[in-house]
Amino acid sequence: MSFNLTPTICVLKKIIHCDCDCFYASIEMRDDPSLRGRPLAIGGQPDQRGVVATCNYEARRFGIRSAMPMSQAVRRCPELLILPPTMEKYRIASRQILAIYRDYTEAIEPLSLDEAYLDVSQATSHHGSATLIAREIRARIADTVGITASAGVAPNKFLAKIASDWNKPDGLFVILPDQVEEFVAALPVARLFGVGKVTAAKLHSMGIQECRDLRAWSLADLMQHFGKLGNSLYQLCRGIDLREVRASSERKSVSTEETYVHDLPDLTACVAELPALYASLQQRVQRADAISHIHKLYVKIRFSDFRITTVECVSKTLDIGLFQQLLETGFQRRQLPVRLLGLGVRLAETEAASGQQLGLF
């Protein structure tokens, strides 16, 4: 096996990563000041298998975090206030934020309603100072939307995202090009993009705690131990990230799903839920203008033991009969009560070429 050991040329850019602080919760506290200072979570009810979509910092002090079952969150904080998401309010705020970004650059890559990368390398505002642009963006979000946002400024996306989290909440952190070497050297390897708990534990077992330790390993050795991830580790521990800020995001799927308060006991009960799910999916596909881009249909099932299975087939049209066949196939894999059902479509890759992008905003 041979490896390409040619040095990577790193092109320095001016990247801002902007991330609103506990976005959903911040919008709710903006609209109802009596919620401020109290532990608050946005999501489903604990007796209906709800999960935490986001929570404010008062709730985080109890160890509550996004994606945690709401029942567990309430056990950690019995006085936790729970509000259902009001998505239209969040989308309005998101559009206001996007409009602010566009005053500085069109090179915007949204990651969610409240988070985005901006490439301001060619920006003319503030004589091209990314730091001053980020400071002004944060001030305008506070004035216009009424919430706080944190930002990171760095020569690439990887470092900008880490920087935005450095002084949260309501913070700004800047990593200048001549600071990259020292900053990354002291960075814990668990902070590297693509490193989860399992990979972090493996790195630690190899005596690798910080990026300075990782730099002692050759590219060949890292790829031998970690496969393709080894190349990413080799680059990131040196502060190298060549990913571009992609100004548009091509949608790859449309789906709908339902978590049931009581488990569906058998296949018959699951089939009975199909018409409602199918109707919801039809509406979403139509709203996304994706009907002509359908490439596959799929069914997602989460059983009572929390195992998930997905079954799909090629189809260019919505067909409830095909969804039922997929459901029957998936159910036979475990034949247990079902807590969640989902229907979805995967979209053809030719969508981008057709000029009909499906944006996140």
Residues flagged as binding site: 19, 114
Q: Which residues contact 132 (CB under 8 A, 6 or more apart)?
A: 125, 126
End-to-end CA distance of the chain: 45
> Using an 8 Å Cβ cutoff, are 297 and 267 in contact?
no
| 244 carries an active-site annotation | no
As given in the structure block, the two tokens for residue 138 are 């944060």
As given in the structure block, the two tokens for residue 190 are 């668990």
Give one DSSP letter per residue of 181-247, joined into a string.
HHHHHTSBGGGSTT--HHHHHHHHHTT--BHHHHTTS-HHHHHHHHTHHHHHHHHHTTT-------S
Q: How would you classify the pairing of strands 172-174 and 149-154?
A: parallel
Binding-site annotation: residue ranges for Mg(2+)? 19, 114
Q: Which of 28, 58, 109, 115 is catalytic?
A: 115
The DSSP bridge partners found for residue 345 are 254, 297
As given in the structure block, the two tokens for residue 96 are 């206001």
The C-alpha angle with vertex 326 and arms to 320 and 329, in degrees rounded to 5, equals 145
The C-alpha angle with vertex 208 and arms to 206 and 211, in degrees rounded to 5, equals 155
Task: Provide the annotated active-site residues.
Answer: 115
